[in-house]
Amino acid sequence: MYLSSALDLVLAESGRYISLKDGVSEYSAEFERALEENVKFWPLLYTGNEITVTVKQCKDISEIINFTCITGGASTDKSLAIYSFKYNYEPVFFFFGSSFFTSIFERNIVYVQEQNRI
């Protein structure tokens, strides 16, 4: 439960920061920087494993429903963004070795890109 809550908080704060930031040219890179900055405050969450980040930009809800959002770059006519975070987690305090337990945690969150809103 701790891990899920921490992951949700890190994702929400990073997405909120990017959705309000002006002049972003590469959303995925900015989102990844924000995630790396926020995850430092949760040492049990991040053990140095690779984090996979994607940002999909959508014009409206129908693009989200139909899976037609675009990935990468900056678009001024796309007011919605789906921020995704995937992390291969290995527990810090697991006595049977990491080969017994590996898990992929993935979270997605949709934000309104305030600077792109019409």
Number of domains composing the chain: 1
Task: Look up the domain containing 108 and give its range.
Answer: 2-116
Sign of CA dihedral 26, 9, 87, 82: negative
Q: Give me the pLDDT at residue 51, please.
A: 73
Write the CB contacts of 26 (distance below 8 Å, at least 6 apart in sequence): 72, 73, 74
25 pLDDT above the threshold of 70: yes
pLDDT tens profile 48-62: 666 788 889 899 999
Rounded to two decimals, the pTM is 0.69
80-89 β-sheet, strand order: 70-71, 51-58, 80-89, 103-112
Q: Give me the pLDDT at residue 91, please.
A: 61
Sign of CA dihedral 69, 5, 98, 46: positive
